[in-house]
Structure 1
Amino acid sequence: MKSALFVTDLDGTLVRENNEIELADLLAIKYWKQSGNLWVVATGRKWGSVEQLLKKYDLSADALILENGALILDASKEIIWQKNIQSETVNQIRNIDLSVVKKVCLVTSYSQTTPQRLLEWTSFKQFSDHTISAIALQYDTADIAKQNIDKVKLALNDVVFRNMNYIDIAPKCCSKGNAIQFLVDKWALNNSKIAVIGDSFNDISMFEVSSQAFTLEHAEKAMHNQDALVVKNVQEAINMVRMEWFF
């Protein structure tokens, strides 16, 4: 039975500048899977962006946790968990000071027959007949996002995370950590062999459900105060896990 699970955040963790994956990290993931282990992606991205990345590097994940846990797909792209933003949340966004927001992006709900769309706020207001699964507020800098996150949390009923210079909004009860726990239960995995790696605050929930958590040297200092080992890349984390778990 496959018992070891490694969960990888994308942006800032596995994916670096120019949407590239380092060769060392790529080889480490492929070796991990060839050894009979499970590999899962956990990201705030929508499906189309992740699909392009996986095809580019000839990678296949055993499951995809997308939109910060609002959507989980299995290896064949079948939906195994999905939840959408409450309709009133979009109205509540109007109560936020959007003058400091560079861009408001809304992701339409995923289905295998209807491609997802990424809508900007202005176009959404004109055509609001969409089911929304994720919202992102983009700010010029991470500091500005940090200054505004408490205001966003107070204004909305859904889940709010800061991810560098973005504030991500996910449906209630959704997080990467909850999504991992869902998969662990579904697959009846050994709870002592679950490793995760991430570099931002939307990854902290993953740390809470893992037996071994990692963060990156370049992550914000506050991330280094979490209960996670600091490594330079995904390859180093995978190598440490393999040595610890004897394979």
Structure 2
Amino acid sequence: MIRLFVSDLDNTLFNDEKTVNPEDKEALMALVDAGVQVCLASGRMDKELVSVMNELQGEFHRISQNGAFIYDTNNQRLYSAHFDGDTARELFQIAEPYQLVGFISQEDGMFVPRKSELVQQIETQMRMPIEERADVLDCLGTSIFASKLCYIGDMDEIKKLEATVKEHFADRVDSFISDRHCIDFMPPGVSKGVGLKRLIDHLGMKEEEVACIGDSYNDISMLRLTKHSFAMAVADAAVKQEATHTVASVAEAARWVLAYNSQISAK
């Protein structure tokens, strides 16, 4: 029996307008009505997941910033992680020569040293609140605790930066392609898969009692965790091959889960 359904947001539960289609909302509520718990798992900040949860009028578990923060339906924080100030500062400085736009995230905020016109465009497009802080680098490790550094731009530049970071930081930084033209740098050992494993252990569930859906490379770790995994049809082939099923929508995956549980119950 599947007891937990986990959904990514961008390009999965979110449509191009960064909202949830009515069909997907209805399908998630059908899961809840059938006794299946729901978890939102995203690279976005926790307060953005809370906003989605409130829009859907449900009580969901939350895995935010690729597993850096985990909350259960009682709003109990199960886990948190962040870089030490020196590592975050050094990472940001190493990335500066690349033709990319960089953001520094902590649990409740996303910061840039200067809010350029391009940053404002990204903020509007992604519907992510971004704060200008000229002193952000000086504040790392004291009043700002970076849980993620995110870079957006040309994929060739992203790959060059990723190679440099892997060479320079070795096992001190993990990286994930989290969206089209976007890479996230995370504290070591932080991923959606590890975060999901922490959540299901807390809930006393087994991996085979979980279903999950996503579209990007930062979803692979959770897709590998359970045999009930779904990749979106828009995902790259490398992501699809990590999932058991390919579907066009969250609603399609949710309907599969309901049908599967009905078959199990009938036996």
TM bin, normalised by shorter chain, reads 0.7 to 0.9
Residue 83 of structure 1 corresponds to which residue in structure 2? Answer: 81
Residue 112 of structure 2 corresponds to which residue in structure 1? Answer: 120
Counterpart of 1:28 in 2: which secondary structure?
Answer: helix
Give the 5 Å matches for 1:226-237: 226-237=242-253
Residue 15 of structure 1 corresponds to which residue in structure 2? Answer: 14
* 1:106-146 C-alpha deviation (Å, 9 max, x unpaired): 122x4xxxxx2221145312543334242233222445434
The one-letter code sitting in structure 2 at the alignment partner of 1:170 is: M
* 1:78-112 C-alpha deviation (Å, 9 max, x unpaired): 2111121133321331563423343221122x4xx
* 1:126-185 C-alpha deviation (Å, 9 max, x unpaired): 543334242233222445434532223333312211112221122221111111111211
* Structure 2 residue 83 is matched with structure 1 residue 67: no
CA contact (8 A) 1:103 1:121 kept: no
CA contact (8 A) 1:92 1:155 kept: no
* Structure 2 residue 176 is matched with structure 1 residue 183: no
CA contact (8 A) 2:192 2:219 kept: yes
> TM-score normalized by structure 2?
0.81
**What's the % identity of the aligned pairs?**
22
CA apart distance, 1:223: 1.3
CA apart distance, 1:18: 1.8
The one-letter code sitting in structure 1 at the alignment partner of 2:69 is: L
Distance 2:235 2:113 in 1: 30
Which of 220, 226, 237 matches 1:204?
220
Which of 160, 164, 175 matches 2:175?
160
Residue 113 of structure 1 corresponds to which residue in structure 2? Answer: none
Distance 1:9 1:139 in 2: 19
Q: Structure 1, unaligned stretches of length 5 or more?
A: 111-115
Q: Structure 2, unaligned stretches of length 5 or more?
A: 115-133
Aligned residues: 239
Distance 2:99 2:148 in 1: 13
Greater fraction of residues in helix:
2
CA contact (8 A) 2:89 2:137 kept: no
Distance 1:138 1:52 in 2: 24
* 1:171-230 C-alpha deviation (Å, 9 max, x unpaired): 221111111111211111143221110100110010121121111111122212224311
Residue 239 of structure 2 corresponds to which residue in structure 1? Answer: 223
> TM-score normalized by structure 1?
0.87
Aligned CA distance change for structure 1 residues 146 and 23 (closer, same or farther; 3 Å): farther
